[in-house]
Amino acid sequence: MPTFLHDTPESVAVVLSALKDTQTLLFDCEGPSLGMQGGGVVLLSLGTPQSDDVHLVHITPIGLPAPAPDIRVSGLFYECGGVMIHNVVDMQVVVMQAQRLADERKSVQARAQRLIPYLPPREVLGKPELYAKLLKLPALGSTVKELKIGGAEGIANVELKRRLRPVVNWSDDVLTQDHIDYAANDIDLLHKLYTHFTANVAPTATQSQSSDGSAANAFAFDQTLRDASAAYVSMWTTSAGQPCASDPYRGHPLFPLGILDEPGWGDNLVVCEGCKRELMPECFPKNDATGKGNLNAGRGAKCLVCRAVQLHNEKPPPPRQMRR
């Protein structure tokens, strides 16, 4: 994994030259409190599926906005330093969609297992139908481990990430070898995931082989995934704004609803009291026994994700005192 660090304005041209011929760009970024109010990008990490080279652009010493890649991009970020990058596919969205396809043959109960221990087992296993569309954001490292992607090398990637995560602080002024190794390792993980998902047949019920014997439905980084990724990444650029770190309804590992399943949205959106997002009525708990209608979707309603977050954060009731 040859890694190149670029930290001068002149070196940005080297990055563009190295990446200009690729159709697909692997992209990640690092910084303190990324995605939160007051957060910022310190390092841009770039790679391509055709090469093991990793290019790290340290923005702080360059003192310029992020470079605008003059290439077609089919991954992996959306807006950076005012530069809009189109055709983004977020790898977490890919992993979640692949998990859902793999889960199609499992029971509702078995699918609900993924939400444990995030939700109390009694709640999630007692009302699995309520949480059928809830997904936990997958950690890319554990996905590599779970699917045994990249063999021993993949395991080494995951181990390195686990070891460095607690020691790497992106608020530091100086970039250490640990920072560099951590960021480069993430691109290597993305590289392995991209290779895996573009080469492997998605486990759907409609698997078929084309006449040349290749998989007809290798996981497609298609428009559906681009639309879902765009909805996910641009979620907080709406009136809701970026969440602050202390907001319990916007800083948790559950995937927001209405991104993978309701691309068309609609007119009758309801604002969730927890996350302040405008969502379809189907994203709110139903309160009638037949499961029809979304009678709870109204003023002051919390979506199913926020309901789960609330349940997760509620302290268990204190043990009852025994009287002697």
Q: How far apart are CA 294 and CA 132, in angstroms?
A: 15
Q: What residues between 252 and 281 interact with Zn ion by CB under 5 A? A: 272, 274-275
Alpha helices in 223-291, H assignment, sequence order: 223-233
Give the nearer residue to Zn ion in terms of CB position, either 160 or 270. 270
Q: Which of residues 211-240 bind Zn ion (CB under 5 A)?
A: none
CB of 303 to Zn ion, least distance (A): 3
Q: Least distance (Å) from Zn ion to the CB of residue 275?
A: 3
Give CA separation, 215 vs 149, 210, 222, in Å.
18, 6, 16
Contact 137, 255 (CB under 8 A): yes
Q: To the nearest whole angstrom, how small is the minimum distance from the Cβ of residue 300 to Zn ion?
A: 12
Among positions 276-305, residues that touch Zn ion (CB under 5 A) are: 303
- Nearer to Zn ion by Cβ, of 180 and 271: the residue is 271
Compute CA distances 32 → 19, 37, 81, 140, 174, whole Å. 26, 10, 15, 19, 13
Task: Name the residue nearer to Zn ion (CB basis): 41 or 231.
Answer: 231
Amino acid, single-letter form, for residue 251: G
- Total residues at interface with Zn ion (CB under 5 A): 5
Cβ nearer to Zn ion, comparing 55 with 252: 252
Q: Does 306 bind Zn ion (CB under 5 A)?
A: yes
Q: How far is the CB of 12 from Zn ion (least distance, A)?
A: 40
Looking at the Cβ atoms of 42 and 303, the one nearer to Zn ion is 303
Q: Does residue 20 contact residue 12 with C-beta atoms inside 8 Å?
A: no
If DSSP codes are grouped into helix, strand and coil, which group holds residue 241?
coil
Distance separating alpha carbons of residues 134 and 120, to the nearest angstrom = 14
- CB of 299 vs Zn ion, minimal distance in Å: 14
* Interacting residue ranges for Zn ion, rule: CB under 5 A: 272, 274-275, 303, 306
